[in-house]
């Protein structure tokens, strides 16, 4: 019997070309695994396409709820945002894809796992670190880095497919390189390869309007959280996946979450891309607005550091590590009282606060008000300032004395 390889299969040009290449160069039986993280109609026709390319079997695995509950929610709770802009849409999806890929590989008795990530990107790192953590015995095949690959462009891949009797509707020059899931869609290529060129948003955007094309009237929303998890939208209880879907629709309509970024890839180069994350941007902002009321100053400050660390960990593909588990354990502990309702309005690309309430709010009007109350005596501040600034005053006096002596 031939050995089997589990291929992370999207149905795109790269993974389409990889199927006959694996059979030709390794004589593997190819088991395609498409992991559905919310790609929508991109999954249409995959069964026929995979079979026509020579795959022995295709799995289409729906992991949308697992993706939302176990991967997205911890990052929302941590406010994990890479380089202050990127909401980790692709980065969060890769570990759940790799996890299911390994599970199918075990089920099918595969001896190797294959992915279509290029040698320039981050995804090769994310996929391979996950496989090393979950199945260190499995061989990893990365065609774009393999000496037998021999293809350097989309044109080469299309020609290779045609030479193998595969005639598929892939254009070499008319589309962006995109990655889509429930959380976001990313765009790279074409005019985006030049940071000096403005994105052609009319051609590029899939989920969103630009803010100038958004409705002229604002839209009010209300979201409820329990222990840092979104549980209801506009009074209707919903699971996380459905909340994100609903927020994607309204957020896209109002031009929320369009980001043009030049980011630092793990492999050392800078890359330019445009991300659409309408629902995710709203969800992140709503969670942060609620947290502002509830967390004490010291915990809030440390949590910012932990959120930045989590973003780096996820971006670098280190989900299945003790460090990620430890950081997420800290973040989860901070969510015990992050319960309440956030109201806001969407208006032409903006998310504007409209009132936040929580039974655990630390905001106390008696203390915060300019009106003197029983809980805070203005005179107490004098002694605090004297002690808080003592080291500053001592240093200034010392420098003055030294200067005078000289």
Q: Judge if 18 and 96 occupy the same domain.
A: yes
216 counts as catalytic: no
Choosing from 10, 49, 94, 179, the catalytic residue is: 94
260 counts as catalytic: no
14 counts as catalytic: yes
Q: What is the pLDDT of residue 213?
A: 97
177 counts as catalytic: yes
Residue 1 CB partners (closer than 8 Å, separation 6+): none
Q: Judge if 13 and 147 occupy the same domain.
A: yes
Q: With CA atoms as reference, report the closest residue to 8 among 65, 46, 64, 52.
A: 46
Q: Which of 140, 174, 208 is the last residue of a domain?
A: 174
Task: Report the half-sphere exposure of 328 (CA within 13 A, side-chain side).
Answer: 19
Q: With CA atoms as reference, report the closest residue to 162 among 15, 20, 12.
A: 20
Q: What is the dihedral of CA 371, 375, 378, 384, to 10 degrees?
A: -150
Q: Judge if 246 and 152 occupy the same domain.
A: no
What's the number of domains the chain is made of? 3
- Give the whole-angstrom CA distance, residue 43 versus residue 59: 11
Choosing from 123, 126, 154, 272, the catalytic residue is: 123
- Give the whole-angstrom CA distance, residue 66 versus residue 327: 20
Asked whether residue 322 is assigned to any structural domain, the reply reads no
CATH code, domain carrying 279: 3.90.1260.10
**SS3 assignment, position 368:** helix
- Give the whole-angstrom CA distance, residue 88 versus residue 81: 7
Q: With CA atoms as reference, report the closest residue to 247 among 273, 278, 276, 293.
A: 278
Q: Judge if 349 and 387 occupy the same domain.
A: no
Q: What is the DSSP letter of 218?
A: -
Q: Judge if 257 and 380 occupy the same domain.
A: no
Q: What is the pLDDT of residue 373?
A: 62
Residue ranges making up the domain that contains 195: 184-295+334-357
Asked whether residue 258 is assigned to any structural domain, the reply reads yes
Q: Judge if 169 and 188 occupy the same domain.
A: no
If you search the block for the tokens 């989860």, which residue do you land on?
332
Q: Judge if 76 and 18 occupy the same domain.
A: yes
* DSSP-assigned beta bridge partners for residue 376: 373
CATH code, domain carrying 85: 3.40.50.620
Asked whether residue 311 is assigned to any structural domain, the reply reads no
Q: Judge if 150 and 32 occupy the same domain.
A: yes
Structure-block tokens of residue 363: 């905001």
Task: Report the half-sphere exposure of 277 (CA within 13 A, side-chain side).
Answer: 24
Q: In whole angstroms, what separates CA 356 from the centre of its chain?
A: 26
- Provide φ and ψ at 81, rounded to 5°: -130, 120
* DSSP-assigned beta bridge partners for residue 342: 223, 356
Is the distance from CB of 314 to CB of 360 less than 8 angstroms?
Answer: no
Q: What is the pLDDT of residue 155?
A: 87
Q: Which of 174, 202, 236 is the last residue of a domain?
A: 174
Return per-residue pLDDT of the chain as tens, 406 residues: 789 999 999 998 899 999 999 999 999 999 999 999 999 988 988 998 999 999 999 999 999 999 999 999 999 999 999 999 999 999 999 999 999 999 999 999 999 999 999 999 999 999 999 999 999 999 999 999 999 999 998 889 989 999 999 877 666 655 788 999 999 999 999 999 999 999 999 999 999 999 999 999 999 999 999 999 999 999 999 999 999 999 999 999 999 999 999 999 999 999 999 999 999 999 999 999 999 999 999 999 999 999 999 999 999 999 999 999 999 999 999 999 999 999 999 999 999 999 999 999 999 876 666 665 667 778 889 999 999 999 999 999 999 998 888 7
* Crossing angle between the packed helical segments 240-253 and 278-294, to the nearest 10 degrees: 110
Residue 233 CB partners (closer than 8 Å, separation 6+): 221, 222, 223, 224, 243, 246, 247
Q: Judge if 219 and 143 occupy the same domain.
A: no
Choosing from 52, 177, 271, 361, the catalytic residue is: 177
If you search the block for the tokens 């945002």, which residue do you land on?
81
Asked whether residue 304 is assigned to any structural domain, the reply reads no
Q: Judge if 400 and 349 occupy the same domain.
A: no
Asked whether residue 305 is assigned to any structural domain, the reply reads no
Q: With CA atoms as reference, report the closest residue to 11 among 195, 23, 40.
A: 40
* DSSP-assigned beta bridge partners for residue 300: none
Q: Which of 108, 139, 174 is the last residue of a domain?
A: 174
* DSSP-assigned beta bridge partners for residue 140: 113
Structure-block tokens of residue 77: 């709770």
- Give the whole-angstrom CA distance, residue 101 versus residue 205: 30
Choosing from 10, 14, 49, 126, the catalytic residue is: 14
């Amino acid at each position: 019997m031939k050995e089997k390889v589990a291929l992370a299969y999207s149905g795109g040009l790269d993974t389409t070309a990889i199927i006959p290449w694996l059979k030709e160069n390794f004589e593997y039986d190819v088991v395609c695994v498409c992991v559905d993280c919310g790609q929508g109609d991109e999954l249409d026709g995959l069964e026929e396409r995979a079979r026509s390319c020579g795959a022995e079997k295709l799995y289409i695995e729906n992991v949308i709820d697992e993706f939302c509950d176990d991967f997205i929610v911890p990052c929302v709770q941590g406010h994990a945002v890479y380089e202050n802009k990127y909401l980790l849409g692709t980065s969060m999806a890769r570990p759940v894809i790799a996890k299911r890929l390994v599970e199918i590989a075990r089920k099918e008795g595969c001896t190797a796992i294959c992915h279509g990530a290029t040698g320039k990107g981050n995804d090769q790192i994310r996929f391979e670190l996950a496989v090393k953590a979950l199945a260190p015995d499995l061989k990893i095949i990365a065609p774009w880095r393999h000496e037998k690959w021999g293809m350097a462009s989309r044109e080469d891949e299309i020609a290779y497919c045609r030479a193998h009797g595969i005639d598929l509707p892939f254009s070499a020059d008319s589309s962006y390189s995109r990655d889509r899931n429930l959380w976001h869609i990313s765009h790279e290529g074409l005019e985006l390869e030049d940071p000096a060129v403005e994105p052609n948003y009319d051609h590029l955007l899939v989920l969103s309007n630009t803010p100038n094309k958004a409705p002229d009237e604002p839209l009010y929303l209300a979201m409820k959280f329990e222990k840092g998890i979104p549980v209801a939208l506009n009074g209707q209880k919903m699971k996380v996946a459905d909340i994100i879907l609903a927020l994607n629709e309204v957020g896209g309509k109002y031009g929320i979450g369009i980001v043009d970024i030049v980011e630092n890839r793990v492999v050392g180069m800078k890359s330019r891309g445009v991300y659409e994350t309408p629902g995710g941007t709203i969800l992140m902002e709503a969670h942060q607005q609620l947290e502002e009321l509830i967390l004490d100053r010291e915990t809030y400050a440390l949590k910012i550091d932990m959120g930045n660390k989590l973003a780096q960990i996820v971006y670098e593909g280190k989900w299945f590590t003790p460090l990620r588990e430890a950081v997420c354990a800290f973040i989860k502990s901070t969510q015990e009282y992050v319960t309440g309702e956030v109201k806001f309005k969407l208006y032409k690309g903006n998310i504007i606060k409209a009132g936040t309430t929580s039974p655990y709010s630390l905001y106390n009007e008696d203390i915060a008000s300019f009106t003197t109350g029983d809980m805070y005596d203005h005179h107490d501040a004098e002694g605090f300032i004297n002690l808080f600034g003592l080291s500053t005053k001592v240093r200034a006096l010392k420098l003055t004395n030294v200067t005078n002596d000289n």
